[in-house]
Amino acid sequence: MDAAHFRHVVGHLASGVTVITTETGDRRHGMTASSVTSLSADPPMMLACINNAVPTAAAVADSGRYAVNVLGDGQGELARQFATASDDKFRGVAVHPGKLGLPLLTDALAHLECEVVEQVTGGTHTIFLGRVVTATATAGDGQPLTYFRGGFGRFAFAKDDEVYGRARELVLSRAYPADQALPLEDLATRLGVDQAAAFYALTRLSSDGLVRRDADRGYVVAPLDVRTSDETFDARLAVELGVLSLSLDRVTDDEVTELRRRFDAMAALLVGERFVDFHGYLDANYAMHEYLVSLAGNPLLTSTFGRLGIKNVMTRSFGVTPETSQKFVEAQRHLVDGVAHRDAESARRGAIEYCELAKERVREILVATGGTL
Ligand SMILES: Cc1cc2nc3c(=O)[nH]c(=O)nc-3n(C[C@H](O)[C@H](O)[C@H](O)COP(=O)(O)O)c2cc1C
C-alpha cells in the first residue's frame, strides 16, 4: 500500500498529543508524539512508539527512561516546536524535574515518568514499554489538545455538541432574526444550559459564519442576502474551475470511481423534486465537492474551499424548504461526467451550470422569504 494513502486514511483516527522527554548526561531531549498509549493498570504501564531515525529514540534507549507530557488544547505551538528538529527544543518552555530527574513540561495537563522494561521493533519504529513510576495530573478542567487528519484541534464533549446543535437550529429557524443581537444570557436561558455551554455554542456558530461579533452589540445573527450567496457560490466555482484546469489531465481512474461514488450517494438523497434528508444531502454534496477540489493535491486549495462556508449558505437557503429540483443533480452529473471523460469543456460547463442554478435558487428563496434570511 502507498504510504501517503495509508497516512491519509489513518489520519482519521483522532488522538491526544504528548511530548516525550528524556535526559542523557546533561542533554535534554523531547519530541511530539501521538503514538502513546496506556497499556496495563497492574502493573501500571505505558507504551510509546518512536521512529528510530529520530534522536529521541536513541536517547530513550540510552537513558532507559522517558516522561510522557500530555498537552492541553492551547499548546499546539508547543507541539509544533517539539516536532521540529532543533538543537534547543526547550527554548522558552517552563520545565521542572520529575522524581526520576526527567524534564517535565510544567504547563502540560498530566505527566507520567516511566522506566523502560522492554523494547520491541515495529517497522521503522521502536515500541518502548515503560513501567510507570510517577503519574500526576493538573487539578482543574484543562482540555486536551487533539490531532486529527493532520491538524490540531480540541476535544468536545458530546453534551457541548448537542447544545451547539440546538443553538444552530434556533438560528436557522430564525428564532433570532437576521442582524439582531443574540445575547449570551438569553441563549443560555432558552437552551436551559449554563453560560459556558452557550458560549461554546456561540463560538462554534461564529466559526460556521452563522453569527458574527459586533463591536457594540456582541454576537449578532449574520444575515444571508443575495450578495453573500452569490459571492460564496462564485468563490466555489472559481476554486473548482481552477482545480479542473490544474488537474483534469492527471486524474486517475480510481479517483473518478470515488468521485462518482460520492455523486451517487448525494443523488440518492434528492428524490423527485424533494430532499429526502436535507442534512444528509448537504454532507454528501460537500463530500463530493471537497473530493473534487482535493484532486488538485493542494492542501491550500482544499482548506480555502473549507473556509467558504458553503454549507451555511446552503443550509440557510435550500434548507428552509424540502422542495428542490433534479436540475441540481443533473448539472452535477455533467460535471462528474466531464471529469470521467477528461473533457475539460463539459466539466467546466457542468460546474458553471450548477453554480448559476444554485444562485438562482437562493434568489427565489430570498424573494419568497422577504429578502434576507
Ligand atoms: C502530532 C504529532 C504526532 C507525532 N507523533 C509521533 C510519534 O508518535 N512517534 C514518532 O516517532 N514521531 C512522531 N511525530 C514526529 C516527531 O515529533 C518529529 O519527527 C520530531 O522532529 C522528532 O524530533 P527530533 O528529530 O528533533 O528528535 C509526531 C509529530 C506530530 C506533529
Mutate which of 27, 32, 37 for ligand 1? The one with the most ligand atoms within 8 Å of its CB, which is: 32
CA distance 129 to 101: 19
Looking at the fold, whether 183 and 205 belong to one and the same domain comes out as yes
pLDDT tens-digit readout, 260-274: 999 999 999 999 999
Looking at the fold, whether 298 and 334 belong to one and the same domain comes out as yes
Looking at the fold, whether 65 and 126 belong to one and the same domain comes out as yes
231 domain-assigned = yes
Indicate the pLDDT class of residue 210, thresholds 50, 70 and 90.
confident
Quote the pLDDT of residue 141: 66
Looking at the fold, whether 116 and 168 belong to one and the same domain comes out as no
Q: How far is the CA of 12 from the centre of ligand 1 (A)?
A: 17
Domain boundary among 180, 197, 221: 221
Question: Which amino acid would we find at residue 319?
Answer: G
Looking at the fold, whether 176 and 234 belong to one and the same domain comes out as no
Mutate which of 29, 54, 62 for ligand 1? The one with the most ligand atoms within 8 Å of its CB, which is: 54
357 domain-assigned = yes
**Interior angle at CA 266, CA 310 and CA 262, nearest 5:** 95
Indicate the pLDDT class of residue 69, thresholds 50, 70 and 90.
very high
Percentage of the chain surpassing pLDDT 90? 69
Grid coordinates in use for 291?
A: 473530493
Looking at the fold, whether 134 and 83 belong to one and the same domain comes out as yes
Quote the pLDDT of residue 371: 62
Looking at the fold, whether 248 and 345 belong to one and the same domain comes out as yes
Query: Is it the case that residue 162 has pLDDT exceeding 80?
Result: yes
CA distance 162 to 322: 23
Give 207 or 74, the one with higher predicted confidence. Answer: 74
CATH number assigned to the domain comprising residue 282 = 1.20.120.530
346 domain-assigned = yes
Give me the sign of the Cα torsion angle 364, 369, 371, 373. Answer: negative
Inter-residue contact 223 to 373 (CB < 8 Å): yes
CATH number assigned to the domain comprising residue 77 = 2.30.110.10
Looking at the fold, whether 114 and 200 belong to one and the same domain comes out as no
Residue located nearest, by CA, to atom 15 of ligand 1? 83
Looking at the fold, whether 217 and 230 belong to one and the same domain comes out as no
Residue 339's domain spans which residues? 226-368
373 domain-assigned = no
CB within 6 Å of ligand 1 — which residues?
17, 31-35, 49-51, 54-56, 79, 83-85, 147
Quote the pLDDT of residue 233: 96
Structural domains in the chain (count)? 3
Mutate which of 13, 20, 22, 34 for ligand 1? The one with the most ligand atoms within 8 Å of its CB, which is: 34
CA distance 118 to 47: 10
272 domain-assigned = yes
Q: Which atom of ligand 1 is nearest to the CA of 50?
A: 11
Which residue, chain included where needed, has cell 453569527?
211
Query: Is it the case that residue 369 has pLDDT exceeding 80?
Result: no
- Tell me which range, 71-85, 151-165, 172-186, is most confidently predicted by mean pLDDT: 71-85
Residue located nearest, by CA, to atom 14 of ligand 1? 33
Q: Which atom of ligand 1 is nearest to the CA of 80?
A: 31
Domain boundary among 197, 221, 245: 221
Looking at the fold, whether 114 and 94 belong to one and the same domain comes out as yes
196 domain-assigned = yes
281 domain-assigned = yes
Domain boundary among 96, 114, 148: 148
Q: How far is the CA of 69 from the centre of ligand 1 (A)?
A: 14
Indicate the pLDDT class of residue 324, thresholds 50, 70 and 90.
confident
